[in-house]
Structure 1
Amino acid sequence: MSRPLMDHIASSFSEDAPRPPVPGEEGEAPCYPGKLAMMKPVEPPKAVLLGSPGSSARRNEDGLGEPEGSASPDSPLSRWTKSLHSLLGDQDGALLFRTFLEREKCVDTLDFWFACNGFRQMDLKDTKTQRVAKAIYKRYIENNSIVAKQLKPATKTFIRDNIKKQHIDSAMFDQAQTEIQSNMEENAYQMFLTSDIYLEYVRTGGENPSLVNSNGLVDLKVVCGYLPTLNEEEEWSCDFKHLQTHSP
């Protein structure tokens, strides 16, 4: 991944764009809010705070990773435990969190969050902006998906009315994004910090590729740089495996 893209991820929490759902999984939302809402915030184990960094783990002269527990207190893994912002501000953290959400079938919440960021960057004068707004609404809000279940009725009504009246505004999804982010911070993020995926990643110093989706690099680059081009009534269901993954 190029340095400009990595800087792009770290410098702003609001300049990413979404990966659409895998074809055939549209509408699936088995992870209901109640499943996560019962989770109480937890303090990550001390081992997590002392673990080696992720894929950027420090090396000694023999090319071996640092011994477990020798990482700097300000290592990437330590920063992940500070906030959801810090987690998603690191490319490996964002990738591992996405892998966790995919397993829990809650990845739509993260996709929607990124979709809101991507939409906010679009030119309102561009004719495709309205089509993308409709696609986001249809994919995440109009149906009974996990995203729709976590939004307040007034928020969904506001977005629906804007779509119907064609009042497209860069900030039209902001309130919905805030509600989804709050839910992730209080629930999914807390679960992630005690999940076997995360703890195993810490134990291995971030060097176990089996813990990360094999398409993760493609997914992350797409998340950070692209929104699909849509025809007038085209559903948002393209396969991002076929997209170019060069940095913007």
Structure 2
Amino acid sequence: MPKLLFSKIRINEFKDLNRNIKQPETLQEHSTPGLKLADLLINKDYLSAFRSFLETEFSAENVDFWLACREYKKISPVKRPYRAAEIYEEFLHPMAQKEVNIDHHIRDKIKRSLANPDLTCFDEAEAHIYKLMEKDSCPRFLKSEAYQDLRNTRQEPKVDLL
């Protein structure tokens, strides 16, 4: 196998070139101070405060739907069709009092799946609502007085697994 010949000058050029390339920012430089949505959703105190905040913004149905979807995945297959219909009527039906904002294609797909619902029938809607909360509601909550007050009264958040 032929050997590649590099002079010391060429190697030093590569080293200099490497030094001039901006190194990736650390994770801390990208992160914002405070908690993330996932942290809020696994802690009972923060979840309660977040839900109260969403009530003031008339969007508590988002977290309620997300929690209902998480609970749905834990129920027995026998109860699944009944609970899936309840979730649809409560959050996805066009006339639901707690209707969440999802695309009509996702809504129709879920409605068709109600004949034989599986564990994943709400996954697309759940992910959509999670992204809405993550990009919109959560940043506003983290800047709110309610969050600041709660954060100042707590030393370390206690994680409560769902």
The alignment's TM-score, normalised by the length of structure 2, stands at 0.69
Q: In the aligned structure 1, how far is the partner of 2:81 from the partner of 2:67?
A: 17
Which of 155, 178, 183 matches 2:106? 155
Q: Say whether residues 1:91 and 2:44 are aligned partners.
A: yes
- In structure 2, what is the equivalent of residue 136 of structure 1? 87
1:146–1:182 Cα change, 3 Å: farther
- In structure 1, what is the equivalent of residue 149 of structure 2? 200
- In structure 2, what is the equivalent of residue 102 of structure 1? 55
1:102–1:206 Cα change, 3 Å: farther
- In structure 1, what is the equivalent of residue 19 of structure 2? none
1:84–1:180 Cα change, 3 Å: same
Asked if the contact 1:122/1:170 (under 8 Å) is kept, the reply is no
Which of 170, 173, 191 matches 2:119? 170
Which of 111, 122, 134 matches 1:185? 134
Q: In the aligned structure 2, how far is the partner of 1:145 from the partner of 1:189?
A: 24
Q: In the aligned structure 2, how far is the partner of 1:142 from the partner of 1:200?
A: 37
- In structure 2, what is the equivalent of residue 119 of structure 1? 72
CA RMSD of aligned residues (A): 2.4
Question: Secondary structure in 2 aligned to 1:183?
Answer: helix
The structure carrying a bigger helix percent of its residues is 2
Q: Where do residues 1-248 of structure 1 align in structure 2 (5 Å cutoff)?
A: 78=34, 80=35, 83-124=36-77, 126=78, 128-144=79-95, 148=99, 150-163=101-114, 166-203=115-152, 205-206=153-154, 224=162
Q: In the aligned structure 2, how far is the partner of 1:179 from the partner of 1:147?
A: 16
List per-residue Cα deviations over 1:213-247 (Å, max 9, x = no partner).
xxxxxxxx9xx5xxxxxxxxxxxxxxxxxxxxxxx
AA at the equivalent of 1:140: F
Q: Percent identity?
A: 24
Q: In the aligned structure 1, how far is the partner of 2:67 from the partner of 2:151?
A: 26
The alignment's TM-score, normalised by the length of structure 1, stands at 0.46
Cα shift at 1:151: 0.8
The unaligned stretches of length 5 or more in structure 2 are 1-30
